[in-house]
């Protein structure tokens, strides 16, 4: 009753911001992301005769809210498998946790795949995506490979709201994301609390929702056609629209720092010179820069020269979440 899984993070080209059902984690809008090779979480789950559920992250014991969320997720799996054994869970991230790098996505995808297997369940990719979604909405997009659309769904039970592949990693192997780390440390406002406050208070929120379906159509088709300009322009604008709803939330949610803004200006200037890339930010100050493989060396060099950029990480279209043999304990 022990299994280990690896799941990659994902970075959204069309963002998810807001839930219509906070218990089932059903979104107000569809979203679309790239699964990012190299930014991953590895998780081992063992069900056994333990006294309590325990969790370690990067070797440190975790308690409180984070442990509670993991226990809640284990309870879902125990319910599905009809078992009541406690679990030992160990997890490791290959990147800074909770700095707006979507560790909850890779985290809950890896936990779902490992826990389902350890509990003896045999779930397909859609079922694993639905299970992952219950832990963190964006985790529904970290189960599959390449480019994934999280379908908004219409059903009350959420069975039609899961991550569906738009294109495999091999379809567009030249697509790259450069993650520019502009700050380390925990983010100030977690996505979950932030999005619920946005729905309650931002006058921009409805406008955001109204424009997402058209953005999704453009980016989905742009990926199929490998039309980099179309995908980049629409994704950049979509991310900015999400941030407009954040900034206009009461109290305001401003995730950017001065380096975030310096990078946005630089990318626009470089684009005017003919060096094409686009930016997007999530619930944190890091900037994710989309580009094509041929431009990575020049962009990476220039990004690293911007004061405040601490590190850059290159990601390409990644593999699906998978079971591995080497356990963490
Ligand atoms: C800004 O999936 O972390 O990264 O569903 O409450 O766990 P919960 O939120 P989460 O939100 C991610 C929001 C985002 C945009 C995105 O990845 O689509």
Q: Give the pLDDT confidence of 205-239 residue by residue, as tens digits.
A: 999 999 999 999 999 999 999 999 999 999 999 99
Q: CB of 36 within 8 A of CB of 44? A: no
* Average pLDDT value for the chain: 96
User: Looking at residue 102, what is its pLDDT?
Assistant: 59
Supply the residue whose CA is at minimum distance from atom 5 of ligand 1: 137
Cα distance between residue 138 and residue 134, in whole Å: 10
Residue 185: which pLDDT band, with cuts at 50, 70 and 90? Answer: confident
Tell me the average pLDDT across 123-148. 98
- Write down the CATH number for the domain with range 2-172: 3.30.230.10
Instruction: Output the pLDDT for position 98.
Output: 44
Is the CATH number 3.30.70.1450 carried by domain 175-317?
Answer: no
Mean pLDDT of 5-21: 97
Percent of residues in the chain assigned helix, strand, coil, to nearest 5: 40, 25, 35
Q: Find out whether the beta carbon of 327 lies less than 6 Å from any atom of ligand 1.
A: no
Strands (E) located in the chain:
2-14, 19-21, 26-27, 31-48, 54-57, 60-61, 86-93, 147-150, 163-167, 175-181, 278-280, 287-292, 311-315, 322-324
CA–CA distance, 306 with 290 (Å, rounded to integer): 17
Q: What is the pLDDT of residues 33-64, one digit of tens each?
A: 999 998 999 999 999 999 999 999 999 999 99
User: In the prediction, which pLDDT does 101 show?
Assistant: 67
Give the pair of three-digit tokens for residue 316: 């390409």
Quote the CA–CA distance of 319 and 53 in Å, as a whole number: 30
DSSP 96: -
Q: How far is the CA of 96 from the centre of ligand 1 (A)?
A: 16
Q: Which atom of ligand 1 is nearest to the CA of 16?
A: 18
More confident residue, 185 or 120: 120
Confirm whether 2-172 and 175-317 share one CATH topology: no
The CA distance from 306 to 291, in Å, is 18
Give the closest residue to 67 by CA, choosing from 54, 79, 77. 54
Question: Separation of 327 CA from ligand 1 center, angstroms?
Answer: 28
Q: Report whether 110 contacts 5 (CB < 8 A).
A: yes
Give pTM, 2 decimals.
0.96
Centre of ligand 1 from the C-alpha of residue 143, in Å: 15
Six-digit token string for 270: 């470089």
Contact 91, 56 (CB under 8 A): yes
**Would you list the domain boundaries of the chain?**
2-172, 175-317
């Amino acid at each position: 009753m022990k299994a280990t899984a690896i799941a990659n993070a994902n970075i959204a080209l069309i963002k998810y911001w807001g839930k219509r059902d906070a218990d089932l984690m059903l979104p107000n809008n569809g979203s679309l992301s790239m699964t990012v090779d190299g930014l991953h979480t590895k998780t081992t789950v063992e069900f056994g005769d333990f006294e309590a559920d325990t969790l370690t992250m990067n070797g440190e014991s975790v308690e409180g809210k984070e442990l509670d969320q993991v226990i809640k997720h284990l309870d879902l799996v125990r319910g599905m498998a009809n078992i009541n054994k406690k679990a030992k869970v160990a997890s490791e991230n290959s990147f800074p946790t909770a700095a707006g790098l979507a560790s909850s996505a890779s985290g809950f995808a890896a936990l779902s795949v490992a826990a389902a297997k350890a509990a003896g369940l045999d779930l397909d990719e859609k079922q694993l995506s639905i299970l992952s979604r219950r832990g963190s909405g964006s985790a529904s997009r970290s189960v599959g490979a390449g480019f994934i659309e999280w379908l908004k769904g219409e059903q009350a039970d959420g069975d039609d709201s899961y991550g569906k592949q738009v294109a495999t990693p091999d379809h567009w192997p030249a697509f790259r994301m450069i993650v520019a780390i502009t700050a380390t440390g925990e983010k100030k406002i977690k996505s979950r609390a932030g999005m619920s406050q946005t729905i309650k208070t931002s006058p921009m929120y409805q406008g955001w929702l109204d424009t997402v379906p058209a953005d999704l159509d453009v980016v989905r088709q742009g990926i199929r056609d490998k039309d980099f300009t179309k995908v980049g322009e629409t994704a950049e604008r979509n991310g900015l629209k999400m941030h407009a709803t954040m900034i206009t939330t009461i109290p305001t949610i401003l995730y950017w720092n001065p380096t975030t803004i310096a990078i946005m200006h630089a990318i626009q200037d470089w684009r005017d010179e003919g060096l094409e890339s686009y930016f997007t930010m999530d619930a944190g100050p890091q900037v994710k820069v989309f580009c094509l493989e041929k431009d990575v060396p020049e962009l990476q060099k220039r990004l690293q020269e911007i004061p405040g950029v601490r590190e850059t990480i290159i990601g390409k279209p990644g593999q699906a979440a998978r079971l591995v043999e080497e356990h963490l304990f």
